[in-house]
Homo-oligomer: A and B are copies of this chain.
Amino acid sequence: MSEKLERFQRYLDQVEQYRQIETQMAWDMQTQTPKKGYGYKIDAITYFSGEEFRITTSEETGKMYEEMSAPEEYDALSDVMKLTVRRGKREYDRNKRIPADFYEEMVRASNISSKVWEEAKQKADYDLFCPHLQKMIDFRRRCMEYMEPEKDIYDTMLDMYEEGMDSATIDRLFSQMKEELVPLFQKIMEKPEPDNRCFTGDYDINSQKELEAYLLSYIGFDKEAGVMGESEHPFTMAFGPGDVRVTNHFSRHAAIDAMFSTIHEGGHAIFEQGINPDYVKTAAVDVGMGLHESQSRFYENILGRNINFWKPVYGKVGEILPQFQKIPLEVFFREINHVRPSFIRTAADELTYCFHIILRYEIEKAIFRDGVNAEELPRLWNDKMEELLGIRPQNAAEGILQDMHWSDGSFGYFPTYLLGTIYDGMFLEAMEKDLGSVDTLLAEGRIAEITAWLHEKIHRHGSMRTAAETLREVCGQEVTAEPIIRYFKKKYAEIYGVDA
């Protein structure tokens, strides 16, 4: 190993240790820290992220990236190290273009904005949040201009969460989705709604946790390489393939939400646990969000909302939560595929979820392409809601204030959810070519074969391939919404008897 490479690896080692403690403190803050203990964490996070920023943006680090990028060093590197140098250098160059005082101002403003958003959401008061949202829009716009002066602002944002993605591609995909799925949704709305009164009940929280543990193991989560926690909103967090943590949120009055959060976060976690452990401390562990969501949503929707998934385990569900003993599997299946218009994205069914994302994508484009101001957004939101779902929010809390993403400036993130779903349609067809019917595999309790296929084709590679490269490799084609549209039409023809 060259002396330069050795030095670079020491640098990666060091940066990894900062990532470890930041992950550690974030995990603790979101799952355990008591009210009076937040101050200690915030002080520590501020101190160490300052130190990390100092290290990663130092002249010395820049010089190191220069050296590593020179052909005599670069050409001798492994593919993983090539990726790591390439991505690291790009990030370094981008970040170096951001003036330090601007960056600091933006970080401060986004912390304030997040706090104000929380309050505004609670009070359903958009006016409170509006000036902060406008600030975040302006900050992020300028930030992208610094980072990629030559590139379209919104494309730079999209690329940050899904490398290589752009709005031309998303326009094509989402408009086809809209065109095909809105009429499908309207046909479903003409059909009678399933009766779901039998699900009202009091579900013991400890039993729900037991069910979470059971379902996670069932789908392939390795308990020796992860733990379960609780938080306000479910999430997945990885220290590395050997320690991947999922959280859940439980309610005594509903058990199904927590079951599907379990399977969703389980999908994220199985991806993280499956990444080649040799990739630790390299860029190959930072998976793009579209591909990541494709896995959580594959488990949650493609598998979890399939009646065959439940055939081998529904008895166990009833053992753990006795209320389900009285509910036939068919009734349960109808409820987990109960299509209806609703205001809240995270509570939406599989089909209308798509519209929630399309709405947000169109608004982000309106902001960054058409210069629409924060003041105009609630009306735009409500109009689009009415256009897509036929309902109009009565207040901002069930409308534009519901998600936290924009409050800290995470524009460009939302589309990755629906991209994941689109990829899922493609993966499903590729998988069935290799393994035969997924219905049969699920019904026979052979989910391990599905996980093994996903592991081999997707998980173990981490982010060595972009989403586009993965699709080419696994599905033999460019990204297309056709398969997921076929999937939706077939599914709802069976459940609702709509002809598609």
Q: Which residue numbers of A lie inside 8 Å of B, CB to CB?
A: 13-14, 16-17, 20-21, 24-25, 27-28, 32-37, 39-41, 43-44, 47-48, 206, 222-227, 229, 239-243
**Distance between A249 CB and nearest chain B CB, rounded to angstroms:** 18
Please determine whether B206 and A37 come into contact, CB atoms closer than 8 angstroms: no
**What is the CA–CA distance of A132 and B181 in the complex, to the nearest angstrom?**
71
Instruction: Identify 4 new A-B residue pairs, CB closer than 8 A, beyond the known A17-B43, A24-B28, A36-B243.
Output: A17-B48, A33-B243, A36-B242, A39-B242
Other-chain residue from B24, B36, B243 in contact with A224 (beta carbon distance below 8 A): B36
**Distance between A464 CB and nearest chain B CB, rounded to angstroms:** 21
Q: Cβ of A243: which chain B residues have Cβ within 8 Å of it? A: 33-34, 36-37, 40
**Distance between A433 CB and nearest chain B CB, rounded to angstroms:** 34
**Distance between A44 CB and nearest chain B CB, rounded to angstroms:** 4
Given A37-B225, A206-B206, A242-B34, answer yes or no on A43-B24 (Cβ-Cβ < 8 Å). Answer: no
**Distance between A419 CB and nearest chain B CB, rounded to angstroms:** 30
Please determine whether B223 and A37 come into contact, CB atoms closer than 8 angstroms: no
Please determine whether B35 and A17 come into contact, CB atoms closer than 8 angstroms: no
**Distance between A285 CB and nearest chain B CB, rounded to angstroms:** 12
Please determine whether A34 and B206 come into contact, CB atoms closer than 8 angstroms: no
Interface residues of chain A: helix, strand, loop or mixed (majority): helix
**Distance between A203 CB and nearest chain B CB, rounded to angstroms:** 15
Given A28-B28, A206-B206, answer yes or no on A242-B20 (Cβ-Cβ < 8 Å). Answer: no
**What is the CA–CA distance of A17 and B47 in the complex, to the nearest angstrom?**
7
- 7 shortest A-B CB distances, which residue pairs? A37-B243, A36-B242, A36-B225, A20-B44, A17-B47, A35-B224, A40-B239
Q: Cβ of A47: which chain B residues have Cβ within 8 Å of it? A: 13-14, 17
Other-chain residue from B36, B43, B206, B223 in contact with A20 (beta carbon distance below 8 A): B43
Q: Cβ of A28: which chain B residues have Cβ within 8 Å of it? A: 24, 27-28
Residue of B nearest to A20 (CB): B44
Please determine whether A48 and B21 come into contact, CB atoms closer than 8 angstroms: yes
Q: Cβ of A34: which chain B residues have Cβ within 8 Å of it? A: 223-227, 242-243
Other-chain residue from B27, B43, B242 in contact with A40 (beta carbon distance below 8 A): B242
Please determine whether B206 and A40 come into contact, CB atoms closer than 8 angstroms: no
Please determine whether B44 and A17 come into contact, CB atoms closer than 8 angstroms: yes
Q: Cβ of A40: which chain B residues have Cβ within 8 Å of it? A: 20, 239-240, 242-243
Please determine whether A239 and B20 come into contact, CB atoms closer than 8 angstroms: no
Other-chain residue from B14, B39, B44, B223 in contact with A21 (beta carbon distance below 8 A): B44
Q: Cβ of A35: which chain B residues have Cβ within 8 Å of it? A: 224-225
**What is the CA–CA distance of A119 and B26 in the complex, to the nearest angstrom?**
34
**What is the CA–CA distance of A383 and B22 in the complex, to the nearest angstrom?**
51
Q: Cβ of A16: which chain B residues have Cβ within 8 Å of it? A: 43
**What is the CA–CA distance of A271 and B464 in the complex, to the nearest angstrom?**
52
Q: Cβ of A229: which chain B residues have Cβ within 8 Å of it? A: 32
Sample of 24 A–B contacts (CB below 8 Å): A13-B47, A20-B43, A20-B44, A21-B24, A21-B25, A21-B48, A24-B24, A24-B28, A27-B28, A28-B28, A32-B227, A34-B226, A34-B242, A35-B225, A36-B222, A36-B224, A36-B225, A36-B241, A36-B242, A37-B225, A37-B226, A37-B239, A37-B242, A206-B206
**Distance between A196 CB and nearest chain B CB, rounded to angstroms:** 29
**What is the CA–CA distance of A16 and B239 in the complex, to the nearest angstrom?**
24
Q: Cβ of A206: which chain B residues have Cβ within 8 Å of it? A: 206
**Distance between A178 CB and nearest chain B CB, rounded to angstroms:** 43
**What is the CA–CA distance of A246 and B41 in the complex, to the nearest angstrom?**
18
**What is the CA–CA distance of A32 and B31 in the complex, to the nearest angstrom?**
12
**What is the CA–CA distance of A20 and B239 in the complex, to the nearest angstrom?**
19
**Distance between A221 CB and nearest chain B CB, rounded to angstroms:** 11
**Distance between A52 CB and nearest chain B CB, rounded to angstroms:** 12
Residue of B nearest to A229 (CB): B32
Residue of B nearest to A43 (CB): B17
Which of A20, A33, A39 is the most central at the interface, judged by chain B CB atoms within 10 Å of its CB? A20
**Distance between A26 CB and nearest chain B CB, rounded to angstroms:** 11
**Distance between A234 CB and nearest chain B CB, rounded to angstroms:** 17
**Distance between A204 CB and nearest chain B CB, rounded to angstroms:** 9
**What is the CA–CA distance of A6 and B86 in the complex, to the nearest angstrom?**
42
Residue of B nearest to A27 (CB): B28
Q: Cβ of A21: which chain B residues have Cβ within 8 Å of it? A: 21, 24-25, 44, 48
Residue of B nearest to A206 (CB): B206
**Distance between A364 CB and nearest chain B CB, rounded to angstroms:** 36
